[in-house]
Structure 1
Amino acid sequence: MPLLGSAAMLLSFDVEASAIEEHDRWHTHEHLPERLSIPGFRRGTRWLASAGGPRYMVLYEVESLATLTSAAYLERLNNPTPWTTRMMPHYMGMNRGLCSVVGSSGFGQGSAAALIRFTPQADQAALLTGWLLDEVLLAIPKATGLGSAHLLQGAQQAPMTNEQRIRGADLGVDSALIVTGYDSISVGSCVTSLCAESGLAARGARQVSAATYQWSYSLDSAEIRA
């Protein structure tokens, strides 16, 4: 599968306008290298909203859920660097999900992406997941302009840490579908179809929200080791 691991951490958030330039510099030159040096972290990717929001989507691909509660990771969260400590108060509306990768199809990663978040209705959750795995995720990589699709499900609560105390309590993630492609119009059309009444909602998804993004920056743990 294209995601590098069986779990992922999905973040979506805004940053105060006055701090955006410094945030992107910090996130590129300190934060991503720090996170990708933690055992079990495989790849981190930052995306910028092109329609909808929040402004940022960040996806960390990790070996397993255990990576996200490991002593090495929690040590970093509880001992933020001076630059991290300065940046945390500028965060707004953080959603942070420690997720299982329920399904992942296609290869590679396009320059355009969509994030669709939703909550399955309890009595239809199995049918909704089956439809997404057996039809949607298999069809997306074959469509013109698209490349890969990933179904994530929130699996555990993120523990409170010093980083989170500085920026305020994070909200979680229930379920999310990430679609990437090489053509932003095709990605947008896919989102429109899935978010129509005949799409996710008709199969038991509630609280459906969507935004589209453009690739900003990625870092792979192999680069850190090299």
Structure 2
Amino acid sequence: MALLGQAALAMWWDMATEQRAEFEHWHSHEHFPERMAIPGFRRGTRWASASGGEEIFQMYELDAYEVLQSAAYLERLNAPSPWSTRMMPHHRNMVRSQCRVLASAGGAVARHALTIRFSPRGGSEARLAGALSERLGALAAQPGCVGAHLLRHETPPIAPTREQQIRGGDRVADWVLVIVGYDLDVLRSIQTTDLSETALQAHGADGGTLGALYTLCHSAASAEAV
């Protein structure tokens, strides 16, 4: 079992404590059902900072990369509901990466998630992708873990959407590792050993990796994925 499809939309943002209750209500009961109704969206999962901070991590699994520029998806992005319009400005420090799945092993939903954002050194893309892809199966199979996935951002040829304009623009993460599991301590260990900045640099990553740990809040699948 792996990610449901060949593409993923990975996002990180901060949500202030005083907005968290309304955000979770909106995101779970309006936003997820809206997105899961779009053709090509297979599953969406939301995690919150494992340390209790404001950061949110969200990942949508998609049939194909082309879903990210489909007419149905762009229609939603450019015509947000009144509730969405009210909530969008509260998505602070948004990082939004439209990704192709380079490699995927194991499951995609578990109690905890480790995300690592990084970039390859110039000329090392193929070596880095190969080395990490070979490691995913072993990472997913070890006690405490259930899945490991490698994503690469690619900007689709579309104009800035209304939702982006409301938020004030988004940043992107270049490459992304998502490791999911049921033991937070195991993920914490992976972050400092197998997937530390030093280990990633040895395979061809640039400096400045950014890792964070999250705890599951909610996951929803489309009717086609159930």
Q: TM-score, normalised by structure 2?
A: 0.93
2:80 is matched with which residue?
Answer: 80
SS at match of 2:3: coil
Query: Which residue pairs with 1:128 in the alignment?
Result: 128
Counterpart of 1:153?
152
Q: CA deviation at 1:165?
A: 0.7
**Which is further off, 44-53 or 63-72?**
44-53
Once residues 77 and 142 of structure 2 are traced to their aligned partners in structure 1, the CA distance between those partners, rounded to angstroms, is 40
Q: Structure 1 stretches of 5 or more lacking a match? A: none
1:64 paired residue number: 64
Q: Distance in 2 between matches of 1:35 and 1:182?
A: 27
The separation in 2 between residues aligned to 1:78 and 1:221, in whole angstroms, is 21
5+ residue gaps, structure 2? none
**Distance in 2 between the 1:102 and 1:195 partners?**
17
Hey, what's the Cα distance between the residues in 1 that align with 2:147 and 2:113? Answer: 9
Given that 1:51 and 1:211 are in contact with CA atoms closer than 8 Å, whether structure 2 keeps it comes out as no
Contact residue 50 and residue 212 of structure 1 kept, 8 A: yes
Q: Aligned ranges for residues 144-223 of structure 1 at < 5 Å?
A: 144-157=143-156, 159-196=159-196, 198-206=198-206, 207-222=208-223
Which whole-Å CA distance do the structure 1 matches of 2:142 and 2:72 have between them? 40
What is the Cα deviation at residue 17 of structure 1?
A: 2.9
SS at the partner of 1:194?
coil
Shift of 1:205: 1.2
Runs of 4 or more consecutive aligned structure 1 residues displaced over 3 Å after TM superposition:
51-54, 194-198
Question: 1: distance between equivalents of 2:43 and 2:54?
Answer: 21
CA distance in 2, matches of 1:179, 1:109: 10
* CA-based RMSD: 1.9
Q: How many residues in Structure 1 have an aligned counterpart in Structure 2?
A: 224
1:129-176 per-position Cα deviation (integer Å, ceiling 9, x unaligned): 111011x20211221111110000002246411111111101112000
TM-score of the two chains, using structure 1 as the length reference: 0.93
SS of the residue corresponding to residue 94 of structure 1 reads strand
The answer (yes or no) to whether the contact 2:197–2:209 under 8 Å persists in 1 is: no
Measured in 2, the distance between the counterparts of 1:198 and 1:11 equals 25
Rounded to whole Å, the distance in 2 between the matches of 1:123 and 1:53 is 36
Give the corresponding residue for 1:20.
Answer: 20
